[in-house]
Amino acid sequence: MNITKVISILGSIALARIFLLLVSISLFVGSVFYNLNSEVFVPLNTLSLLEWLQTYGQNNLAYTWWFYLFIVFMFLLGMNTFFCTLDRTWIILSRYNKLKKDNLVLLLLSPHIMHFSFIILLLGYFMLYSFGINSYNNILRKDCPVTIHETDIKISLLKFSATPYKSRLYEGLNGKFIDPRIDLEISEGDTMERKVFGLNNPVYFRGYSIHLNDFTPKSGRSMSREISVNLTIRKNAGIPLFIMGIILFITGTFLYIIYNFKNTQRGDR
Partner 1 sequence: MRGNISLLFLAGSVICSLSFLVSFIRSGRVRNYIFAGGVLCTSVSCIIKIILNWPLVTLFQESYLISAACGIISIYMIFFTGFERVTLLLTGLTASVSLFSAFFPADIYVSFIKTNTIFAHIFSVFSSGARAAYMVSFVLALYGVFGKNEESFKSNLLRFNTNLIIAGFAMQCIGMFSGAMWSFVGWGNPVQWQSHIFLAMAGVWFYYSWYLHLKIGRKTENSKLFKAALLGGLLTILFTYIPDTGKFAIPGGM
Binding mask 8-27 for partner 1 (x = CB under 8 A): -----x--xx--xx-xxx-x
Using rule CB under 8 A, residue 112 touches partner 1: no
What is the smallest separation between the CB atom of 98 and partner 1, expressed in angstroms?
A: 21
Whole-angstrom Cα distance, residue 134 to residue 51?
13
* CB neighbour list of residue 144: distance below 8 Å, 6 or more residues apart: none
CA atoms within 13 A on the CB side of 168: 0
Closest C-alpha among 201, 110, 187, 123 to residue 156: 187
Taking CB under 8 A as the binding criterion, the range among 142-150, 184-192, 220-228, 247-255 that sits at the site for partner 1 is: 247-255
What is the smallest separation between the CB atom of 190 and partner 1, expressed in angstroms?
A: 28
CA distances from 231 to 8, 56, 158, 245 (A): 49, 26, 15, 27
Using rule CB under 8 A, residue 227 touches partner 1: no
Contact 147, 233 (CB under 8 A): no
Closest C-alpha among 110, 126, 117 to residue 74: 126
Using rule CB under 8 A, residue 246 touches partner 1: yes
Taking CB under 8 A as the binding criterion, the range among 97-105, 137-145, 151-159, 250-258 that sits at the site for partner 1 is: 250-258
What is the smallest separation between the CB atom of 141 and partner 1, expressed in angstroms?
A: 20
Long-range CB contacts (< 8 A, 24+ apart) of 145-151? Answer: 146/231, 146/233, 148/208, 148/233, 151/188
For partner 1, the closer CB: 77 or 189 = 77
Residue ranges binding partner 1 (CB under 8 A) = 13, 16-17, 20-21, 23-25, 27-28, 30-32, 34-35, 38, 41-42, 44-45, 124-125, 128, 134, 167-170, 172-173, 176-179, 199-202, 209, 211, 213, 232-234, 239, 242-243, 246, 249-250, 253-254, 256-257, 260, 264, 269
